[in-house]
Amino acid sequence: MRLATWNVNSIRTRIDRVLGFLEREDIDVLAMQEIKCKPEQFPHQALEDAGYELAVHGLDQWNGVAIASRVGLEEVATGFPGQPAWAKDESASPVVEARALGATVGAAGQQVRLWSLYVPNGRELSHPHYAYKLEWLAALRQATGQWLAAEPELALALVGDWNVAPLDEDVWDMGSFAGATHVSAPERAAFAAFEQVGMREVTRELVDGYTYWDYQQLRFPRNEGMRIDFVQASAALAARVSGAAIDRFERKGKGASDHAPVIVTLR
């Protein structure tokens, strides 16, 4: 099985590139983040014509997650237990944002419980969104621990845009991130804490490189990027990983997302 995760930064803008990527890389399952649309606005037909089933979770023109699978798609869940809500301002009611979508994919005997995740950005260390981000990651870790406690042999994958650079080498220049989000000690600790409940990030040992480059200031040509897109796997799933890749091609050229797809191959 070829499984990929990609922050597409608007599926309606990127649909042709998504279709080309799926065919070129022979992808069985694609987890998408930042689709930026409601389910009724999603380009279902194009992906269904290409042989994929879809699960889509979007509330407005922001955030949004989706899963496309040509190897089965069932047990869809929008949001994980305990997922925190966010209020855009003091006058708004808190809303559980469209940032997490789960589904079971794969043939019988080879199924994977997959979550497409778009972790909150955090904005600034002093911003309420930063506290929301840490709360969000803590709640996801707790839910993950409960899933694995109930089913220790579960082939579980938490994939997506984590908005955390866990190591100094995951940003082009740590000096440029002094006092910034993504590299703070609490965020890195929150990411590392998934190991305590039985998860392991499985791409780093197989492939080097960044997964995100800002559109501004020629970041991509200068390779001034960040590694913030990851695949956290349970022990049962990690044992099946035979390869990984970061598809830099999809960050090149006209109409590219600011993220590159991350691919894992499963035995």
Catalytic residues: 118, 161, 259
127 assigned to a ligand binding site: no
Angle between helices 185-192 and 128-150 (to 10 degrees): 10
The tokens of 201 are what?
């990030």
Place of tokens 């501004």: 216
259 a known binding residue? yes
**Is 155 in contact with 112 (CB distance < 8 Å)?**
yes
Q: Is 182 annotated as a binding residue?
A: no
d(CA 13, CA 16): 8
Does 34 belong to an annotated binding site? yes
250 a known binding residue?
A: no
Q: Is 163 annotated as a binding residue?
A: yes
What is the C-alpha to C-alpha distance for residues 102 and 66, in angstroms, rounded to an integer? 9
CA–CA distance, 215 with 11 (Å, rounded to integer): 17
CA distance 154 to 239: 12
**Binding residue positions for Mg(2+):** 7, 34, 161, 163, 258-259
**Binding residue positions:** 7, 34, 161, 163, 258-259
